[in-house]
């Protein structure tokens, strides 16, 4: 799957489980590791974990094997690395504290 297709696929999967405040950032000017970073919020630890699991499972079903999934043990912030697309699913207080959107939008 091309980076653009994977980006759209991930956004659709997040929306299926009612992930909130989805933000897609093109990070090609900041890193060679990924093309897009997607950040979204979940309502609770269970919701965060469910969204991340859904993205990873659906990606596998479509031939995209996650390079890694981190953060399941606490589920306040779960990262799903799909290569060209890195997904951060976070609870709102954690997202507000780390401000990834500000960090990755700096030039």
The predicted model gives 55-68 an average pLDDT of 97
74 compared with 52, residue with greater pLDDT: 52
- pLDDT confidence of residue 106: 63
Sheet holding 85-91, edge to edge: 20-26, 36-42, 85-91, 77-81, 68-70
The predicted model gives 53-74 an average pLDDT of 95
Q: To the nearest whole number, what is the mean pLDDT of the chain?
A: 94
Question: Domains in the chain, please, with CATH?
Answer: 3-105 (3.30.460.10)
Q: Measured on CA atoms in the order 51, 52, 53, 59, is the torsion positive or negative?
A: positive
- pLDDT confidence of residue 34: 94
- pLDDT confidence of residue 71: 95
| % of the chain beyond a pLDDT of 90 | 84
pLDDT band at 93 (very low <50, low <70, confident <90, very high): very high
For residue range 66-80, list pLDDT tens digits in order.
Answer: 999 999 888 999 999
């Amino acid at each position: 799957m091309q980076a653009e297709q994977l980006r759209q696929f991930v956004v659709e999967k997040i929306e299926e489980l009612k992930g909130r405040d989805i933000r897609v950032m093109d990070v090609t000017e900041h890193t060679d590791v990924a093309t897009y970073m997607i950040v979204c919020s979940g309502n609770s630890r269970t919701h965060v974990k469910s969204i991340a699991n859904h993205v990873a499972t659906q990606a596998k079903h479509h031939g995209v094997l996650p390079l890694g999934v981190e953060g399941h043990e606490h589920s306040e912030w779960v990262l799903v690395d799909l290569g060209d697309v890195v997904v951060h699913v976070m609870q709102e207080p954690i997202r507000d504290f780390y401000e990834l959107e500000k960090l990755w939008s700096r030039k």
